[in-house]
Amino acid sequence: MAHDNKMLGVLLINGEHVTLAGTIDPQIKHFCYEKAYLESMKGTALSLSLPLTNRPYEEPEFKPYFEGLLPEGEARHALAAQLGAREEDYLTLLCGILDCIGDIAVVELPEGEKNWEDLLSLAHYEPISLSDISCSLTSSERVAQASLASRLSLTGTQHKLGLARMFDDKKTLTWLRPLDGAASTHILKAGQITRIPELEMLALSAARSCGIKVASAELIELQPGNIAICVERFDRQISKDANKKLTVLRRHQEDFSQALRLSSGSKYAELEPSSAKVIAELLKQHSARPLDDIRMFAHIALFNYLIGNCDNHLKNFSLIHEGKWVRLSPAYDLVPTAIFPRFSREMGMNIGTHRNIDEINSRDFSLFANELSISPNLLRKLAKKMIHTLPSAIMVEAYKQEALGFETLSYDAEDLVDDLQTRLHVLESFVEG
Ligand SMILES: Nc1ncnc2c1ncn2[C@@H]1O[C@H](COP(=O)(O)OP(=O)(O)O)[C@@H](O)[C@H]1O
Ligand SMILES: [Mg+2]
């Protein structure tokens, strides 16, 4: 093991402040919150699956949260290969990562007293050209190399980089590569499959027009014909300190797999008695605004159905921690998969009694509303508005993107609007009751 079974420190980074929240002993496989962290008034649990307590957590209890911070599939394979570590050895893969989802970092615990702020003393940014970004996104190996250089870990399966950016006085944009613990503020995802960035862009913008809170996004042409989507990280906030120095604040965040103590591999599992019910219960218990968040979840679910996003699994929904409460994060990774014949038509979670997007019927939406403990009439109201808004919102966004130079977007938009017609009719029959 690269970390030689040494104790690991679990840190929370916010601007220049670093707090030791807990430690992992890889030998006896225990995770423990720090006494001082537990005593501090600001203590936030790392995960809903790891409530604050002074008893040690066993590995089956803490592994899903920590392993859930790593990339998946081929991306994880490439990361392990770069480190010369085994893929299953999730602690070795995590050790030394200073820029994760949210505000967490995992490092080897040094002997003796430690001034944690020193950890970020080398943090800095370096300009990176669009062609270098493009090059770093071409293969899983290159993505893993770039992520390791930035000491960064982003979950998911698509090729992606964590970057920051700066505008000079003339509003010229420079992309920046974060190094040695500097915080990324944007995620750039390349399309391993053509048209995915364009379709994700249309979906995110259309979702916003339908009243859904979404991550801000834009398309970037990295090289002629090579288009990536850039999303602004909602777990980061740029602020100026008292001396007008720019700092990046980080917000604590976890996905639903982590919150429910499930491995990333179980992200498509339908939960008992149903995923909708489990998610609604979780939000009822832990959200600072449960009714708003359940309603927003229902809204996103309707949108995913209509736009044909079957990849709406448990890692594509997140919670932002605010003290001892959570809020549903803005929506992200809204990719209309149903338009591609190669992708599965099984959705990430059931709507009513069905999971296959072509089998979901109007009765399923009433059942879905019941599972979420919201009135079917409220769901009807959301659906009615979406039926009227979505097709034109997709076209309007396409024209906007064309004006910015992304010329094929109206073809993508027309295909998308054609593709959603059958589902639009199903939703209409639900609305009509
Ligand atoms: N705008 C964002 N702000 C903060 N975190 C994000 C944002 N978008 C995605 N993430 C996090 O990054 C992970 C990977 O991003 P995602 O878009 O889902 O990639 P993939 O297409 O590979 O699944 C998500 O599961 C989520 O935890
Ligand atoms: Mg995802």
Asked if the bond preceding 273 is cis, omega within 30° of 0, the reply is yes
**Stretch 219-242: mean pLDDT:** 92
Please name the residue whose Cα sits nearest to atom 9 of ligand 1. 332
Give dist(CA 270, CA 266) in Å, integer. 9
Model pLDDT, residue 1: 43
Q: Any idea which ligand is nearest the CA of 101?
A: 1
Residue type, 279: I
Is residue 37 scored above 60 in pLDDT?
A: yes
Q: pLDDT for 62-88, tens place per residue?
A: 999 999 999 999 999 999 999 999 999
Q: Any idea which ligand is nearest the CA of 73?
A: 1
Give dist(CA 237, CA 298) in Å, integer. 27
Give dist(CA 177, CA 24) in Å, integer. 29
**By the 8 A CB rule, do 383 and 365 touch?**
yes
158 lines ligand 1 (CB under 6 A): yes
Is residue 311 scored above 70 in pLDDT?
A: yes
**By the 8 A CB rule, do 48 and 42 touch?**
no
Please name the residue whose Cα sits nearest to atom 4 of ligand 1. 233
CA atoms within 13 A on the CB side of 354: 14
Model pLDDT, residue 41: 74
Is residue 114 scored above 80 in pLDDT?
A: no
Q: pLDDT for 313-331, tens place per residue?
A: 999 999 999 999 999 999 9
Q: Please give the distance of CA 349 from its chain centroid, rounded to a whole number.
A: 17
Please name the residue whose Cα sits nearest to atom 2 of ligand 1. 233
Is residue 246 scored above 90 in pLDDT?
A: no
What atom in ligand 1 is closest to the CA of residue 311?
23
What φ, ψ does residue 246 adopt, rounded to 5°?
-75, 130
Is residue 306 scored above 80 in pLDDT?
A: yes
Model pLDDT, residue 3: 60
What atom in ligand 1 is closest to the CA of residue 157?
22
**Stretch 245-255: mean pLDDT:** 92
315 Cα–ligand 2 center, Å: 6
Please name the residue whose Cα sits nearest to atom 15 of ligand 1. 156
Beta bridge partners of 14: 17
**Stretch 293-307: mean pLDDT:** 98
Please name the residue whose Cα sits nearest to atom 13 of ligand 1. 155
Please name the residue whose Cα sits nearest to atom 19 of ligand 1. 156
Give dist(CA 163, CA 115) in Å, integer. 27
What atom in ligand 1 is closest to the CA of residue 316?
25
Strands (E) located in 116-242: 124-127, 160-167, 173-179, 186-190, 217-223, 226-232, 236-240
Is 394 strand, coil or helix? Answer: helix
What atom in ligand 1 is closest to the CA of residue 232?
1
Give dist(CA 79, CA 61) in Å, integer. 24
Q: pLDDT for 5-28, tens place per residue?
A: 789 999 999 998 999 999 999 999
**By the 8 A CB rule, do 363 and 349 touch?**
no
140 lines ligand 1 (CB under 6 A): no
Is 10 strand, coil or helix? Answer: strand
**By the 8 A CB rule, do 423 and 308 touch?**
yes
Above pLDDT 70, what percent of the chain?
Answer: 99
Sign of CA dihedral 178, 183, 186, 190: positive
Q: Any idea which ligand is nearest the CA of 230?
A: 1
User: At a CB cut-off of 8 Å and minimum separation 6, what does 315 contact?
Assistant: 68, 155, 156, 255, 256, 257, 264, 267
Residue type, 3: H
Ligand 1 probe mutation, 99, 154, 160, most atoms within 8 A of CB: 154
**Residue 52 is encoded by which pair of tokens?**
């604050």
Is residue 386 scored above 70 in pLDDT?
A: yes
318 lines ligand 1 (CB under 6 A): yes
Q: Any idea which ligand is nearest the CA of 200?
A: 1
CA dihedral 370, 326, 262, 330 (to 10 degrees): 80
More confident residue, 29 or 4: 29
**By the 8 A CB rule, do 359 and 426 touch?**
no
**Stretch 220-237: mean pLDDT:** 95
Q: pLDDT for 154-180, tens place per residue?
A: 999 899 999 999 888 888 999 999 999
Among 140-149, 186-195, 286-295, the least confident range:
186-195
DSSP state of 334: -
Is residue 193 scored above 90 in pLDDT?
A: no
Ligand 1 probe mutation, 212, 312, 332, most atoms within 8 A of CB: 332
333 Cα–ligand 1 center, Å: 6
Please name the residue whose Cα sits nearest to atom 6 of ligand 1. 233
Model pLDDT, residue 111: 81
Is residue 344 scored above 90 in pLDDT?
A: yes
